[in-house]
Amino acid sequence: MTEHRLTPLEHHDLELMVAGVLPARFALPESAGDAPVASLRLPVGYAGAVVTLLDREATPVAVVDVERTATGDEGVWVAGEVTMLRPLATFDFADLRPADSAPVVGAPTLLIGDSASLPEGTGPIVVVDHGDPRALADAVARVRAAGREVRVLPEPSFVSVTGDDRNLLIGRLASAAFGELSTVVVSEHRKGDGLVVLLTGLSGSGKSTIAKELAQLLRRSTVQHVTLLDGDEVRAMLSKGLGFTREDRLLNVQRIGWVAALIAEHGGVAIAAPIAPYAEMRAEMRERVEKVGRFVLVHVATPLEVCEARDRKGLYAKARAGEIANFTGISDPYDEPTDADVVITEDQSPHDAALTILAALSVVAPLPSASS
């Protein structure tokens, strides 16, 4: 049996299934047909007849009886019926969402994105939960302040559907949930100034030292509060008691991503430096953070032989001797990032590496200057 931790938007897929807006099944992207059917993508290497879906608290909430699979460059798509095991955790504004809201009176207007101004009229408004709690609360408050009825549509995952096709899909789901729409207003989803920098690399690659240098540079160059989430310190506090199995590693990085996203949501900067060996965990953190701010992935690409030669803590020697199980690079895999925003090489000093990252951050979007 395979377990899969749901991303925020995959939670929305299940919510829409429970509400009857989506069929209670997953389909392969190319075979969904005209009717919207959610798709589920798992990491490369998946195998099994049943997938157990875990919620934000790692509680099993549903199972997928796998009927078909399709392997691509980014993972394995699975298709099959979904059976709920227990009710989902409560979402924000539960009484306004499809499963629990009262019927709306009149044809609603759908707002996709974060339009600052409401369309004219007195009819009901449907806002979309894009996974950013602050943006959703602001949108609901604006509609209520205008004296208009409001409903909330959870945005589905549907990672293979983008652009205008995605807006059309959201419109179809809104109509299925709340009745035929009168109009659809599309605007940009405004992200805040929050920032998360994730440094990933093998043990001994130098990522913790670089992260500390970067934190010092950022504290001198931006008015934003900077928080350093070092891998070893997180293990000692936030993830105390977790081991190094795949499941525990995923949970450790998920916790880091949750804290980092909260920091970004409130306009701060979080720098995280765990090993983060699996592409799946890094992708989940990116998705979570990019709902509320900016995410920058830094690959500290120090080769294994260099890391092992350093071996300041003697960990590689113990792993080679079989004294440490599930050691990344020796007895456990490291998925080298193919989507890194910055790559740091072994010939760069920690200070130069931090300057390289800082320059990349300024190119992505200027940081609020400490001198402004």
37: CATH: 3.10.400.10
pLDDT at 290: 87
Segment 343-362 shows an average pLDDT of 94
Q: What is the pLDDT of residues 199-234, one digit of tens each?
A: 999 999 999 999 999 999 999 888 889 999 976 777
- Pair 68, 139 in one domain: no
- Pair 135, 222 in one domain: no
Number of domains in the chain: 3
What is the domain extent for residue 305? 195-364
Look at residue 372 and tell me whether its pLDDT is greater than 50. no
Candidate from 17-26, 73-82, 176-185 with smallest mean pLDDT? 73-82
pLDDT at 365: 57
**Domain limit, last residue, from 28, 48, 82:** 82
Phi/psi region, residue 69 (left: phi>0; alpha: psi -120 to 50; beta: rest), is beta
**Domain limit, last residue, from 186, 212, 228:** 186
Distances (CA, A) of 30 to 27, 70, 131, 220, 244: 8, 10, 26, 50, 37
Handedness of CA 91, 96, 99, 101 (dihedral sign): positive
- Pair 310, 260 in one domain: yes
Look at residue 338 and tell me whether its pLDDT is greater than 60. yes
* The overall pTM is greater than 0.85: no
Mean pLDDT across the chain, nearest whole number? 88
- DSSP assignment string, 275-301: ----HHHHHHHHHHHHTTSEEEEEEE-
Q: Is residue 88 part of a domain?
A: no
Look at residue 189 and tell me whether its pLDDT is greater than 70. no
pLDDT at 225: 92
Handedness of CA 55, 58, 63, 67 (dihedral sign): positive
- Pair 220, 350 in one domain: yes
Q: Is residue 349 part of a domain?
A: yes
Q: Is residue 371 part of a domain?
A: no
Handedness of CA 98, 102, 106, 110 (dihedral sign): negative
DSSP, res 237? T
Q: Is residue 345 part of a domain?
A: yes
Candidate from 28-42, 102-116, 147-161, 217-231 with smallest mean pLDDT? 28-42
